[in-house]
Copies of this chain bind each other. A is one copy, B any other.
Amino acid sequence: MKIAVTGKGGVGKTTLAGTLAVILSEKYKVYAIDADPDMNLAGSLGIHQSITPISKMKDLIKERTGAEPGSSFGEVFKMNPTISDLPESLSTDYGPEGNLKILVMGTVDKGGDGCVCPASVMLKAILRNLIIKKDEMVILDMEAGIEHLGRRTAEAVDVMIIVAEPGLKSLETASRIKKLATDIGIQNVVAVINKVSSDREEEFVEEKLGEIGLDILGSIPRDDLVVKADMEGHPLVNYPNSVALQSVVKIAENLLNQGASN
């Protein structure tokens, strides 16, 4: 299964994507890809070493094979269509078991160097041509907002999760994402509610998501331990008392049940 986590900036995409990745890695081989140029997925899992981005993969292939990949990266990747064919040096392991590998799309190395369109094109091609085995999961932590939907970066995912919080801004973004995702043919778009402080807030968001036509995969309460984890630079799974963590465990179950019923 290929999953993309999307939403307005700051709604908790990275916390959800990273925590889901760790939880799912107990049963699956998980590849978590940070598709945000302002990357912080690895950092949120406590990994602070730098990771060679996928956008540098052309150079790696050239180094290894001597061949210059053509302009269509997709064609190159069709020859190596499983994710385990990706060069080892493009990922970093989380935990000792090697069941969770972190990859990053690419970033802006220098001010004025241009946009991340080339890196997005490469990631899109990989996702489109990738054959995912039954025991494998790919989780994409998307950039904030909607530009990735103009670029179709995540068009090949099986599920797109939109994270929303109590507030009209994140719900407007959710509505835009749902519309744009439908434009590019993504069938399965669902929502997760985050940072809920009261029943009233949850009902408010539920009602708005219903109007947008989004099914809700689960709801996560506001939890000071999420702020604490971010300040301490540790993954949320290190805080077993976190109510947010317990909600993400349920969301992982719902995601797998949903996947099984599709």
Can you give 21 contacting A-B residue pairs, CB < 8 Å?
A: A8-B10, A8-B40, A9-B38, A14-B169, A37-B150, A38-B147, A38-B176, A43-B169, A108-B150, A110-B180, A110-B183, A111-B150, A111-B152, A111-B181, A112-B183, A115-B117, A116-B150, A166-B227, A166-B231, A168-B230, A168-B233
The answer for the CA separation of A108 and B233 in the assembled complex, in Å, is 34
Whether B115 lies near A173 (C-beta < 8 A) is no
Residues of B within 8 A of A179 (CB): 111
CB distance from A170 to the nearest CB of B (A): 8
> Does A44 make an interface contact (CB < 8 A)?
yes
The answer for the CA separation of A62 and B9 in the assembled complex, in Å, is 36
Which 10 A-B residue pairings sit nearest by Cβ, starting from the closest?
Answer: A10-B10, A9-B9, A111-B183, A38-B145, A9-B144, A167-B230, A108-B150, A111-B180, A144-B144, A111-B184
Q: Which residue of B lies closest to A226 (CB)?
A: B167
Tell me the A171-215 residues at the B interface (CB within 8 Å).
172-173, 176, 179-184, 197, 201, 204
Residues of B within 8 A of A167 (CB): 227, 230-231
- Residue from the list B11, B111, B143 in contact with A10, Cβ < 8 A: B11
CB distance from A150 to the nearest CB of B (A): 4
Task: Tell me the number of copies of this protein.
Answer: 2
Residues of B within 8 A of A136 (CB): none
Whether B173 lies near A38 (C-beta < 8 A) is yes
Q: Which residue of B lies closest to A180 (CB)?
A: B111
Give the B-binding residues of A (Cβ under 8 A): 8-11, 14, 36-38, 40, 43-44, 107-108, 110-117, 120, 143-147, 149-152, 155, 166-169, 172-173, 176, 179-184, 197, 201, 204, 227, 230-231, 233
Q: Which residue of B lies closest to A149 (CB)?
A: B111
The answer for the CA separation of A73 and B115 in the assembled complex, in Å, is 19
A115 with B8, Cβ < 8 A, contacts A43-B172, A167-B231, A231-B166 known: no
